Structure 1
Amino acid sequence: MLRLIPFFTTESQMIAALKRGESRAHKVVYERFAGKMLAVCVRYCANRADAEEVMLDGFMRVFEKINQFREDGSFEGWVRRIMVTESLMFLRRTKQLRQEVPIEDITVEPDYEWADAAVNENDLLRLVNQLSEGYRTVFNLYAVEGYSHAEIAEMLGISEGTSKSQLSRARTLLQMSLKKLEQEPGRRNQSEHYEKTYRKTAD
């Protein structure tokens, strides 16, 4: 159910209007989800101007494909998946998405138990955005969106092993960057794992 918004009082009413092609429904959906979906696109595109372009293309795809939404799941989740797909298509189109270092070339073994990094959400967002497109994309798909390596491999046209190596390398680089932050004066330890903290910023 939606909170009271212009024209519609329930999500079902809004979706029905979308399927009828009503422009007011387009406006409501855009105003309701634009902020969240821009944040999704920024996580993949990094450049805000590119992310805004991808988001607009994503909404056009939402309106074109609305009849494919079966209303047996979350509408917001469905919109989000379209935005992720559009982001990946943009990265492929602009040749920004490429395979990174294979796992056998990783010289620093990641420590998956490092749970006391003294960082806040802004630090995490900044560090993740500093990763190369390949590492950042796999990290976002796995840690934020919750896709399996098999699903990521199919989405990106890579092997599961490559997906795993991308994630491993991304975690290693984040670990190294976070350890540098921990050494800065005035920071306090916090017990929440970095991926859980980062994931919360995506909701």
Structure 2
Amino acid sequence: MAESIDALVEGCRRGKPAAQRGLYERLGYQLMGVCLRYCPSRAEAEDALQLTFVKIFTRLDQFQGQGPFEAWARRIAVTTSLNLWKQHQQRGPQLATEEAHDVHHPDGTPFDQLSADEVVRQINSLPPGYRTVLNLYAIEGYSHAEIGELLGISEGTSKSQLSRARHLLEQRLHRQAHIPHYHD
């Protein structure tokens, strides 16, 4: 029978390698999904995952048991991935951001023919800033104030980036589904 997260955490606090391996096996897949949402490549997501676990293991004394351990670990994965993303932005070529246009769609737009993989692919193709704010807000549940703090941007910029991400995503999904756009 698999050990509980609490038992694994306690084993990690006592420096037991088997507990560390167990915690990695239990949370690695989930946290890799978090890292993939924010890192520009799988290799960088793998780096972020490794750094996340290093931070988890070295900062266990900071986990006070207020809320689930998984949520605490997820927050570390998000901030670690965002920090790597920021480093990538600073050292790499600046990607041109696409300007989103207001999209007006007819009632009853049939997106049924789009697979989940196609939608995820479209989200992943958004400019990095848009994608990051969309993920933090819609998937991770952060407020615009928290996103601003995490990314070093204003709350208004976070709201603007989310709005543009939504419009651009909608536009791309319409195109993917071969649905005509209606402009006023």
TM superposition score category, shorter chain reference: 0.7 to 0.9
Change (3 A) 1:45 1:107: same
**1:141 alignment counterpart:** 136
**CA distance in structure 2 between the aligned counterparts of 1:171 and 1:110, rounded to whole angstroms:** 12
- The RMSD of aligned alpha carbons is 2.5
Structure 2 unpaired stretches of 5+ = 180-184
Residue deviations 1:53-98 (CA, integer Å, cap 9, x gap): 1110111001011111112211111111100000011011122698
Tell me which of 157, 165, 171 is aligned to 2:166: 171
Q: Which amino acid aligns with 2:35?
A: C
Equivalent pair of 2:100/2:165 in contact (CA under 8 Å): no
Q: TM-score, normalised by structure 1?
A: 0.77
Q: TM-score, normalised by structure 2?
A: 0.85
**CA distance in structure 2 between the aligned counterparts of 1:36 and 1:24, rounded to whole angstroms:** 19
Tell me which of 74, 80, 85 is aligned to 1:91: 85
Q: Which amino acid aligns with 1:83?
A: A
1:7-86 superposed matches below 5 A: 9-86=3-80
**CA distance in structure 1 between the aligned counterparts of 2:57 and 2:160, rounded to whole angstroms:** 36
TM-aligned CA deviation for residue 114 of structure 1: 7.7
Change (3 A) 1:126 1:107: closer
Identity %: 41
TM-aligned CA deviation for residue 44 of structure 1: 0.7
**CA distance in structure 1 between the aligned counterparts of 2:37 and 2:12, rounded to whole angstroms:** 27
Residue deviations 1:83-139 (CA, integer Å, cap 9, x gap): 0000011011122698x97xxx7542577x987523221111101110111011000
**CA distance in structure 1 between the aligned counterparts of 2:148 and 2:55, rounded to whole angstroms:** 23
Q: How many residues align?
A: 174
Equivalent pair of 1:41/1:84 in contact (CA under 8 Å): yes
After TM superposition, where is structure 1 displaced by more than 3 Å over at least 4 residues in a row?
A: 113-116
**CA distance in structure 1 between the aligned counterparts of 2:163 and 2:44, rounded to whole angstroms:** 27
1:180-191 superposed matches below 5 A: 180-183=175-178
Q: Does structure 1 residue 132 correspond to structure 2 residue 136?
A: no
Change (3 A) 1:46 1:94: closer
1:104-119 superposed matches below 5 A: 107-108=101-102, 116-118=110-112, 119=114
**CA distance in structure 2 between the aligned counterparts of 1:110 and 1:164, rounded to whole angstroms:** 20
**2:182 alignment counterpart:** none
SS in 1 for 2:142: coil
Q: Which amino acid aligns with 1:162?
A: T
Change (3 A) 1:172 1:75: same
Equivalent pair of 1:110/1:171 in contact (CA under 8 Å): no
